[in-house]
Amino acid sequence: MKWSATSRTLLVSLVLSFLACTACADRQLSSPPDEAIPPEVRASARDWPLPGRDYANSRATADSAIDSSTVSRLEVAWATELPGRGAYGAASTTPLVLGDTVYIQDLQSNVLAIDRASGALRWQRRYDAFAIGPNGVAVGWGKVFANLGTHDLIALEQATGEELWRRTLPRTPTEGVDIQPTVYAGLVLASTVPVSLNGVYTGGDRGILHGLDEATGESLWTFDTVDSPDLWGNPGINSGGGSWYTPAIDTARGRVLWGVANPAPFPGTPEFPNGTSRPGPNLYTDSLVALDVRSGALEWYRQAQPHDIFDHDLVHSLLVEVGAGSQKHTIAVATGKGGRVLGHDRDTGELLWSTPVGIHQNDDLVALSGPTPVLPGTYGGVISPPAAAGGAVYVATLNAPTPTSAPTSARCPARSSRSTPRPAPFSGTSRSTATRSAAPRS
């Protein structure tokens, strides 16, 4: 699972690349194969119109005024207060920049439209509904789409913030929605996960991917990330799957690439240690899943870690152009809390390479028999979204171990004694902040 947010006392920084138009847009945005891209995204391709900047999730700009010689001279241009906060801070999202407006959501589900030049508030839609995160907005077809709390997806009028429709996605009270949605081909793409304010990995819960009609919120297709009607044999205990981060979209192929989260319980229960309540690989957890974006049909998948007992979600997906000249081609890349970056053939899912990052210790074990430190831990590996440029993938790793202990009784030779506490909410104030370059030093 994934729980992340900036501290309430930290600033949500919108760097200069948000304030000055970049001179080139991603190839997928500037030369799309169809008219599936919303007009707002197309018109603002040189800004930051999508959570990953572009459909490839590159999170990169090729022409920015910020570099190693100018970054030290950034200064605050404006600051706008964020009204809400969650248990982990004020925001767990990527602000979107389209033309002269910045759109952002805080961890109380409040949505703000901010003037890009001055930081003045154009409108805000207050909900004050607690969200775990990540959450955030998507913009397209005259609407702003966002999460509401941990259960609903909403559409707001882009010009005013007026609510247009609302849809509840989870099937049960304990499933939730914790993802920044994205938009393409008349669809709003989002996912449920087996985590919400009402429960964490409750038996029977499963993550489901959704393609919703942007005009009405009607679900046009769903994809169950648990490839087992009876939840791997024990629906009273088992749960898992879903997606926490915005998928990459291969616009040339009409394909959406989702990173799928972990199975549960992990590492097990007293009665079923080491994931024995869910024998087998537990598909499609910890997998990169490629779906036809218009129908939701499965095209291919590749599982990174079968039968995961360490909460090693494969949460991030991106498309990366590699090679040069006649050898130039695009591959699908995935990474996550398992601390490995994986390259795949974009059309078949064939694994091309696997590169470990960060510290690895005992993460290859298939069973535990006593106190065991595991790296990456449940809050480690690659949690922050990666970036890609110039044929390279850039990741930040967190070397945070999870101390996993197990009793030695005959009935329960191995189980985790670790629980997942809910941190107390932060207090203080928070702001959405933009920076600009100061005058060059003489």
Dist CA 383 CA 17 (whole Å): 23
Residue with tokens 């409108």: 123
Residue with tokens 């572009």: 54
- Tokens representing residue 439 in the block: 């005058």
Q: Which helix (H) or strand (E) holds 30?
A: helix 27-30
Dist CA 293 CA 402 (whole Å): 37
pLDDT value at position 405? Answer: 54
Give the closest residue to 182 by CA, choosing from 244, 248, 132: 248
What pairing do the DSSP bridges indicate for beta strands 287-292 and 298-303?
antiparallel
Dist CA 201 CA 203 (whole Å): 6
pTM: 0.86
Decide if 385 contacts 335 (C-beta within 8 A): no
Give the closest residue to 374 by CA, choosing from 334, 396, 405: 405
DSSP 412: -
- Tokens representing residue 355 in the block: 């590169």
Question: Which residue type sits at 225?
Answer: T
What pairing do the DSSP bridges indicate for beta strands 121-125 and 137-140?
unpaired
What domains, with CATH codes, occur in the chain?
11-437 (2.140.10.10)
Decide if 63 contacts 22 (C-beta within 8 A): yes
pLDDT tens digit sequence for 142-153: 999 999 999 999
Question: Which residue type sits at 304?
Answer: A
User: Which residues does residue 79 pair with via DSSP β-bridges, in sequence order?
Assistant: 433
CB atoms within 10 A of CB 60: 20
pLDDT value at position 370? Answer: 83
Q: How many residues does the chain have?
A: 442
Decide if 392 contacts 246 (C-beta within 8 A): no
Dist CA 205 CA 308 (whole Å): 17
Give the closest residue to 60 by CA, choosing from 379, 435, 394: 394
pLDDT value at position 342? Answer: 98
pLDDT value at position 416? Answer: 33
pLDDT value at position 62? Answer: 81
- Tokens representing residue 412 in the block: 């329960």
Dist CA 94 CA 211 (whole Å): 21
Alpha-carbon torsion (330, 397, 45, 70), positive or negative: negative
pLDDT value at position 183? Answer: 98
Q: What residues in the chain have per-residue pLDDT under 70?
A: 1-34, 405-442
